[in-house]
Amino acid sequence: MLILVSNVGSSSYKYQIIDIETEEMFTKGVVERIANPPSIFTHSVPGKPDLKGEIDGEVAQLIHYERENQHNSRYSDYEIVDIADSAEFKNIMAVALGVRAIVDKVRELWMYGNTRIHIDNVTELGHFVELETVITNQTDTEARAEHNFVKQMLEIDDLELVSESYGDFMFSVK
């Protein structure tokens, strides 16, 4: 028998769908910052990539990431879909998927060539730098060289890498 376990707070909604006989978790998710855009949601299924979205005012984006959790630079494929009615989308996602973790972060975005430099301040976790070198008009070799150059210029080559999402990292450090 499957059950839906949910936790509804003033600014978040968390959920899991669990088989109570086997205790197997089929899916889990979170919608965070419901009352304070940008709202962020994550939906995950064991063995499958997370589905993430960011909602800011009237514009929302659904972002699907496909990447391995590794402690090194790695390739990541993603797809982005714009959502016209963010308020209704947020409500549907909260009801349908629930909330797994609340990640409260402030992100500053810098750019160098095709590399997005995310400077994140994450409540309860600290400060992080994330690099995304988008391969569009260059070869893989050129993209990797740009990525490595940015790491060297920011002097972050020797820093400890975090391989999981902030939501997953919150659970691993507790």
Q: What is the SS3 string spanning 64-132?
A: EEECCCCCCCCCCEEEEEEECCHHHHHHHHHHHHCCCCCCCEEEEEEEECCEEEEEEEECCCEEEEEEE
In tens, the pLDDT along 92-104 reads 777 777 666 667 7
In tens, the pLDDT along 134-154 reads 888 889 899 889 998 998 888
Structural domains for the chain: 1-102 (no CATH), 104-174 (2.40.320.10)
For residue 25, the model assigns a pLDDT of 74
For residue 170, the model assigns a pLDDT of 77
